Amino acid sequence: MTTTLLLNVTEDGLRLPRQLFRQTGEVEVVERNDYILIKPKSSEPRDARARAIAALREAQLLVRPDWEQLSIVSPAERAELAQKAGQGKPLSEIIIDERDDRA
């Protein structure tokens, strides 16, 4: 839809009649050599990563898992695990030993 208007420029700037625009939200002003374009601001994310994620979600190729997130391991627990893993035994044997200790 194209509408042509005769406009007056005031000291405040260019004033446009509100009835010409339905809920514009934020607008973007683009300067060209022979005109100025006022258009709704794009709602698309600007950075490449955000655009890629948005495209994957729209194509239903990216979903949030419905299982619980894993708990965060504290630095003390990490140190304990590093000490156990550094004993020279294979990890499978360490796990078996821990299971036997719990039983």
What's the pLDDT at 95?
84
pLDDT digits (tens, 9 = 90+) for 9-55: 888 887 777 777 666 677 788 888 988 888 877 766 668 888 888 88
Q: How far apart are the first and last CA of the chain?
A: 75
Query: pLDDT band at residue 1, thresholds of 50, 70 and 90?
Result: low
> Percentages helix, strand, coil for the chain, rounded to the nearest 5?
35, 10, 50
What is the dihedral angle through the alpha carbons of 74, 76, 82, 87, rounded to the nearest 10 degrees?
-140
| 8 A C-beta contact, residue 44 and residue 28 | no
Rounded mean pLDDT, 54-67: 84
What share of the chain has pLDDT > 70, as a percent?
Answer: 85
* Rounded-to-integer distance, Cα 44 and Cα 52, Å: 11
Query: pLDDT band at residue 82, thresholds of 50, 70 and 90?
Result: confident
What's the pLDDT at 76?
92
Task: Name the DSSP letter for residue 65.
Answer: -
